[in-house]
Amino acid sequence: MRTTLNIDDDVLAAAKEIAQREHKSTGKFMSDLVREALKRRAAAPSGRRRNREYYGFRPIPAGGSVVTNELVNELRDELGI
């Protein structure tokens, strides 16, 4: 089914990168990701858990510095990626 969604640029870029590594289309990868999130939500107890995984990702405590897109791009340039 075709639909239109507003997705943040950084999220879409990450999804495209992972989809390519997994030899899937971006649409297939996003569908699989949302399907898994919906399954987990349906199976989870109704109360909130402290260290809950959101959409398959564990929250990481802040480490004191912010990683910006500019920093990532600088590192990519340095590494020639």
**Which residues fall within 8 angstroms of residue 66, CB to CB, at 6 or more apart?**
none
pLDDT per residue over 20-73, tens digit each?
999 999 999 999 999 998 988 887 766 555 556 667 777 777 777 778 899 999
3 state DSSP class of 72: helix
What pLDDT score was predicted for residue 12? 93
3 state DSSP class of 34: helix
Indicate the pTM of the whole model. 0.52
What pLDDT score was predicted for residue 42? 81
Euclidean distance between the first and final Cα of the chain, in Å? 34
C-beta separation of 56 from 63 below 8 A: no
Q: Where do the structural domains in the chain lie, given as residue ranges?
A: 1-58
Residue 40 corresponds to which tokens in the numbers above?
Answer: 């987990």
What pLDDT score was predicted for residue 66? 79
Q: Is the pLDDT of residue 10 over 70?
A: yes
Residue 10 corresponds to which tokens in the numbers above?
Answer: 């950084």
Residue with tokens 């990683």: 67
